[in-house]
Amino acid sequence: DTGVSQNPRHKITKRGQNVTFRCDPISEHNRLYWYRQTLGQGPEFLTYFQNEAQLEKSRLLSDRFSAERPKGSFSTLEIQRTEQGDSAMYLCASTSGAETQYFGPGTRLLVL
Amino acid sequence: QKEVEQNSGPLSVPEGAIASLNCTYSDRGSQSFFWYRQYSGKSPELIMFIYSNGDKEDGRFTAQLNKASQYVSLLIRDSQPSDSATYLCAAISGGYQKVTFGIGTKLQVIP
């Protein structure tokens, strides 16, 4: 399967801990997006990479959030000092620039 | 005001009927529009995209776009129970192709 993969699929953590998620896009896709989705809502844009450059970051992304895409391949999203409000599904999507974004299975985070 | 508006539903239709899902958007700079299907607990799955005014058909699905009215719709013909899911409307705009999603409409197809 050469689709978008995300790890871990589920993460339970205690408030105040740091967590890191990984996304491996489709290999030929140079654009990568992170979204957050809470229950009953559509995905909300967090940040966007073109190759290794982070070109846009949502105001939703507080300074506790950081994302990287070293070498323009996989990407990581780190949340520091997690809060209960961070509980959500974190989705990664990639595209080659043809507009259609393909989503990974998501990482479901629960902050206790 | 959300940039992409959808009725959250649920929209209930009997099996075999046509389901009509609607979406409006506020950003006239939006270039392309997508319909994603999302089953509970799963990630969104692309159904169709459309960027020109008019209709686009793919199997049982027809997407309709009216840029003057800022309106997008998805018709599902011969609805099946397996079509029961949340349907997300999304609009793409801007140089970095920001995608803005609606809240999603929950569709229930009754056998």
Q: How many CB atoms lie within 10 A of CB B44?
A: 28
Is residue B1 over pLDDT 60? no
Q: Is B108 on the interface with A (CB under 8 A)?
A: no
Distance of CA A48 to the CA centre of its chain: 9
Which structure tokens are listed for A63? Answer: 């300074």
The DSSP bridge partners found for residue B73 are B22, B64
Q: Using CA coordinates, name the residue in chain B closest to A57.
A: B98
Distance of CA B103 to the CA centre of its chain: 11
Amino acid of residue B52: S
Q: Is A63 on the interface with B (CB under 8 A)?
A: no
The string of pLDDT tens digits covering residues B88-105 is 999 987 766 678 999 999
Rounded to an integer, the average pLDDT of A46-65 is: 89
Is residue B54 over pLDDT 90? yes
Q: Which tops the pLDDT comparison, A77 or A28? A: A77
Report CB contact under 8 Å: B44, A103.
yes
Is residue B37 over pLDDT 60? yes
Which structure tokens are listed for A87? Answer: 């509980």
Report CB contact under 8 Å: A91, B97.
no
Nearest to B96 among A40, A55, A91 (CB): A55
Angle at B47 between CA B13 and CA A53, to 5 degrees: 140
Cα gap A64→B55, rounded to integer Å:
44
Cβ contacts (< 8 Å) between A41 and chain B: which residues? 103-104
In DSSP notation, A74-100 reads: -EEEEESS--GGG-EEEEEEEESSSS-
**pLDDT interval class at A105 (50, 70, 90):** very high
Give the pLDDT confidence score for residue B35 in this predicted structure: 96
Report CB contact under 8 Å: B96, A105.
no
Give the pLDDT confidence score for residue B78 in this predicted structure: 97
What average pLDDT does chain A have?
92
DSSP B81: G
3-state secondary structure of A86: helix
Give the pLDDT confidence score for residue B96 in this predicted structure: 62
Q: How many CB atoms lie within 10 A of CB B61?
A: 17
Q: Using CA coordinates, name the residue in chain A closest to B87.
A: A42
